[in-house]
Structure 1
Amino acid sequence: MKRLIPIALAGAILAVPAAAQTGCPAAAQQSAALPVPVIHYKSKQIDGVKVFYREAGPVGAPVLLLLHGFPTSSHMFRNLIPLLADRYHVIAPDYPGYGQSDAPGHTQFAYTFAHQADIVDKLVTQIGASRYAMYVMDYGAPIGYRLALKHPERVSGLIVQNGNAYVEGLQSPFWDPIKVYWRDRSQKNRDALNGLVTLDITKFQYTDGMGDVERISPDNWVHDQALLDRPGNRDVQLDMLGDYGANVPLYPQFQAFFRERKPPTLIVWGKNDKIFPEAGAHPYLRDLPDAEIHILDSGHFALEDRLDEMAPLIRNFLDRKICK
């Protein structure tokens, strides 16, 4: 019979065969001391809609609000959360119509950025987060910046990853058919956007421009596309794409918030992104000259192939600027 050696890991005792310990006993002892953050998967009713969110980290610690992009959900932060949750109270919601949140039909729910910001605002208020740093990406940028306009005193800092607040960031050809729809909401122009919610485009968003495509799990586009393909969800997404244009007139207000409040800011940007290209990153420095900026050899969902670079940058930034 093999002799079993007890190992303590995150409060539990695991019995491991003795033979398994002969190769790296020092490494095993070190691993036993590593904290294993617990992530809770919760939901709250906000205006009759179930809003799902991931939550981890000590209650009372500085709050980090993670705001996802299109076409994903808080799933995009699944690997980052455990790397921050030992010291930060991390909250990552799914907007209505995304992830595990309810997705009422687009004739029953206003899928606008103003409404999504109101929902997130009510969620964090229910949770009790009165001050927070925000990680904003893609759709998360205008949602987060709308929150900042409502409650500028609550924002302790910004982490910006491929999230736009300047017209220079909207010059990509990707936006051309969407801008046509902003100007003319005809059914013809709406139908022209149908391809943006197909598997090919979802996969493109995860793989195009990545420094190392072999780091990208296919689970990403399989997961996201399954949610996009739910009955009625295409109209949800087309409503949101159509309403994105309502954010552009607010850019001067977003920029005024940057200048006036001067939140500590870290910019980590995938330079090969064809949706929010690098041209949208540098204008932040006009209004936030002290922002720290890192341009990465990555694409739209940079966390998928550059987590090993981004997590230390984010952790270091939060430790210096937020957790004082």
Structure 2
Amino acid sequence: MGFLHLPGLGKAHFHEYGTGQKPLLAFHGYGMTGKQFHVLEKSILPKYHIYGFDHFFHGGSKLDGWTDKQIRAGMPKNMVHSYMQEWFKIYGEQRFSVMGYSIGANLALILLEEYAHLVDDVILMAPDGLSVYKGFHFLLHNPLGKFMFRIVTRSKWLAPFVLKCAKKAGLIDDSLYQIAYNEIDTEQKRLDTYYTLNLIRLLKPNAEKVASRINQYKINCTLIFGKDDQLFPKSAAMPFIGMLDNAEVHELELGHWLVIKALDEYLVR
């Protein structure tokens, strides 16, 4: 493991694992760390040397002196490029691959936009960033949604109440409810949720540009979805998939919680 010192941003902590030789920069989902992909021990780990990055407000990554106002304004998209710039300073400019799960797919895709000429493979699991998720967009960009999000995450009782209402209304299923509830049961977790989603609010890849780069450089593209995923389903990604010349697309009998042993076994088969 180690750190990348990202100018104007902070220290990005990463975990190294995998027995393969090909470098792969990996970005996890909310509430996890860069070690999340350890479970793919038979399918992914033998092929790649993984650099699994912790998101800010997760694991060992720390922002450097950012104020509440700066965090709420969001991290500029071009700051993501510093991940590769600083990684190249340590390991030398070379070919690499990227992998992202859920919100982590945003960073993987933004790197692909800029460095597609050096990318061999892109692996996306239940990816955010291929379409607009209306729930997140409302909370992070709509004035009323932003106000509500700030109030809810500062309340001990309101956040669980809103989640229960969303579940009852069918906006989220039981698995998403459990994932979300586990991230709001303490004041610090609620604050981390609020800051995490606001920090990445501007980190949206250009899907058309990404698809064009993948086709231009003939990058191996693997997309994996859960049939019961209500957050980032395959249906929402179909316009993006339709722009690709030759993508490998999988849909498993799972929900949003995809990075588990069952996925490893499926990929091996």
Q: Distance in 2 between matches of 1:227 and 1:45?
A: 30
Deviations 1:57-82, CA, capped at 9 Å, x for gaps: 468x2112211122332132232257
Which of 183, 192, 195 is the equivalent residue of 1:236? Answer: 195
Q: Distance in 2 between matches of 1:228 and 1:127?
A: 37
Which of 156, 159, 162 is the equivalent residue of 2:126? Answer: 162
Partner in structure 2 of residue 89 of structure 1: 49
When residues 264 and 55 of structure 1 are mapped into structure 2, their CA distance, relative to the original with a 3 A threshold, is same
Secondary structure at the aligned position of 2:238 is classed as coil
Which of 53, 58, 76 is the equivalent residue of 2:36? Answer: 76
Q: Distance in 2 between matches of 1:221 and 1:82?
A: 31
Say whether the 8 Å CA contact 2:226–2:255 is kept in structure 1. yes
Partner in structure 2 of residue 49 of structure 1: 10
Say whether the 8 Å CA contact 1:65–1:134 is kept in structure 2. yes
Say if 2:75 is the partner of 1:112.
yes
**Deviation for aligned residue 1:54:** 0.9
Q: Which amino acid aligns with 2:106?
A: P
Question: Any gaps of 5 or more consecutive residues in structure 2?
Answer: none
Say whether the 8 Å CA contact 1:182–1:243 is kept in structure 2. no
Matching of residues 3-18 of structure 1 within 5 Å: none
Partner in structure 2 of residue 275 of structure 1: 231
When residues 97 and 126 of structure 1 are mapped into structure 2, their CA distance, relative to the original with a 3 A threshold, is farther
Deviations 1:126-171, CA, capped at 9 Å, x for gaps: 442622121122222221121112212111111111114443xx36
Q: Distance in 2 between matches of 1:96 and 1:236?
A: 9
**TM-score normalised to structure 2 length:** 0.74
Secondary structure at the aligned position of 2:31 is classed as coil
When residues 187 and 146 of structure 1 are mapped into structure 2, their CA distance, relative to the original with a 3 A threshold, is closer
Secondary structure at the aligned position of 2:225 is classed as strand
Say whether the 8 Å CA contact 1:162–1:281 is kept in structure 2. no
Q: Distance in 1 between matches of 2:76 and 2:262?
A: 28
Secondary structure at the aligned position of 1:89 is classed as strand
When residues 221 and 283 of structure 1 are mapped into structure 2, their CA distance, relative to the original with a 3 A threshold, is same
Higher relative contact order (CA 8 A, sep 6+): 2
Q: Distance in 2 between matches of 1:311 and 1:165?
A: 23
Partner in structure 1 of residue 175 of structure 2: 208
Say whether the 8 Å CA contact 1:269–1:295 is kept in structure 2. yes
Secondary structure at the aligned position of 2:35 is classed as helix
Deviations 1:67-106, CA, capped at 9 Å, x for gaps: 1122332132232257544442111111222222114565
Q: Distance in 2 between matches of 1:95 and 1:309?
A: 27
Q: Which amino acid aligns with 1:239?
A: N
Alignment RMSD: 3.9
Q: How many residues align?
A: 253
Q: Which amino acid aligns with 1:208?
A: S
Q: Which amino acid aligns with 1:302?
A: L
Q: Distance in 2 between matches of 1:55 and 1:180?
A: 34
Q: Which amino acid aligns with 1:182?
A: H
Secondary structure at the aligned position of 1:156 is classed as strand
- Larger Rg belongs to: 1
When residues 79 and 238 of structure 1 are mapped into structure 2, their CA distance, relative to the original with a 3 A threshold, is closer
Matching of residues 1-324 of structure 1 within 5 Å: 41-47=1-7, 49-57=10-18, 61-80=21-40, 84-104=44-64, 106-107=66-67, 111-112=74-75, 114=77, 117-128=80-91, 130-167=94-131, 170=132, 175-176=134-135, 178-179=137-138, 181-184=140-143, 188-191=147-150, 194=153, 208=175, 229=188, 232-240=191-199, 242-243=201-202, 247=204, 250-304=206-260, 306-312=262-268
Q: Distance in 1 between matches of 2:245 and 2:130?
A: 15
